[in-house]
């Protein structure tokens, strides 16, 4: 049962990314008339797919999706999202994007959606955005405000704050999911043994992410799409997790489904 659900979600996500990737394909200029059309048909360049994870996770959550995309011939990169706040995370992902030649399809899951929204702004190589049960904030919005405005997430009551020192001498707060709440709020349809391992290896994200102000909304100029596993409130990419509860969008805009970090 768990395996069927994971495979179904993985296929749905890969299909969504493939649609965006097909739309993002570009053809180098050819000669004229029929010869040019033939050249374009044969020479379309597949985009690089960049997968950005959210909070409480790492890039390995995309492994199942990566396998399928690579099988279909797509160059795929899943960078490690620093999870140190939107400005830091977006700047890092933007630097990854700058290192890639050719067209890019940029995918964000959960909190990763807020990161790609900022990171893709101004990069002409990013041809499509895909939001997987993700935040898609507008310029000037804060994730914490959106979560309070549109309740329904289990994350808020499940996190534990742990202080850490910032380089400037101030104290920041890392957010972890508590062991007793991890499975219900993060991966309720996975075996207990699997979620115990996920809980032990989770990567926290900085609480500042909830108050950071979005500086740019790339989806206003780059074609956005969305993918959401049915009847889930995921905080892991659909290749590995979901929840049995229905998702609660945190915006009236339909450009992307927003959910917990």
Query: Cα 206 from chain centroid?
Result: 17
- The 3 state secondary structure assigned to the chain is CHHHHHHHHHHHHHHHHHHHHHHHCECCCCCCHHHHHHHHHHCCECCEEEEECCCCCCHHHHHHHHHHHHHCCCCEECCCCCCCCHHHHHHHHHHHHHCCCCCEEEEEECHHHHHHHHHCCCCCCEEEEEEECCCCCCCCCCHHHHHHHCCCCCCCCCEEEEEEECCCCCEEEEEEECCCCHHHHHCCCCCHHHHHHHHHHCCCEEHHHHCCCCCCCHHHCCCEEEECCCCCCCCCCCCCCCCCCCCCCCCCCCCCCCCCC
- Evaluate whether 65 touches 13 at the Cβ level (below 8 Å): yes
pLDDT at position 44, please? 80
Name all domains of the chain by residue range, CATH numbers in brackets: 2-227 (3.40.50.1820)
pLDDT at position 19, please? 57
Question: Do strands 126-132 and 224-227 pair parallel, antiparallel, or not at all (unpaired)?
Answer: parallel
Per-residue pLDDT of the chain (261 residues; tens, 9 = 90+): 444 444 445 555 665 565 566 555 544 444 444 445 544 543 588 999 999 999 999 999 999 999 999 999 999 999 999 999 999 999 999 999 999 999 999 999 999 999 999 999 999 999 999 999 999 999 999 999 999 888 888 888 999 999 999 989 999 999 999 999 999 998 888 899 999 999 999 999 999 999 999 999 999 999 887 665 544 443 444 443 333 222 322 232 323 333 345
């Amino acid at each position: 049962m768990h395996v069927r659900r994971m495979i179904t979600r993985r296929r749905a996500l890969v299909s969504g990314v493939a649609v965006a990737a097909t739309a993002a394909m570009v053809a180098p200029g050819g000669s004229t008339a029929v010869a040019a059309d033939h050249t374009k048909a044969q020479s379309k360049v597949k985009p690089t797919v960049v997968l950005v994870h959210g909070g409480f996770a790492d890039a390995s959550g995309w492994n199942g999706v990566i396998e399928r995309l690579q099988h279909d011939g797509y160059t795929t990169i899943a960078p490690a999202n620093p999870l140190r706040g939107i400005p830091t995370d977006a700047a890092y992902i933007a630097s990854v994007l700058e290192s890639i030649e050719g067209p890019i399809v940029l995918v964000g899951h959960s909190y990763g959606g807020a990161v790609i929204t900022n990171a893709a702004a101004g990069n002409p190589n990013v041809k499509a955005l895909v939001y997987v049960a993700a935040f898609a904030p507008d310029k000037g919005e804060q994730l914490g405000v959106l979560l309070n405005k549109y309740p329904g997430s289990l994350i808020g009551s499940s996190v534990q704050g742990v202080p850490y020192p910032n380089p400037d001498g101030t104290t920041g707060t890392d957010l972890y999911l508590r062991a007793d709440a991890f499975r219900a709020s993060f991966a309720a349809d996975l075996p207990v043994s699997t979620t115990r391992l996920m809980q032990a290896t989770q990567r926290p994200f900085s609480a500042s992410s909830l108050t950071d102000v979005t500086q740019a909304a790339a989806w206003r100029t780059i074609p956005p799409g969305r993918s959401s596993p049915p009847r889930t409130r995921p905080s892991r990419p659909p290749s590995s997790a979901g929840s049995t509860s229905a998702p609660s969008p945190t915006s009236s805009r339909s450009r992307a489904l927003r959910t917990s970090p």
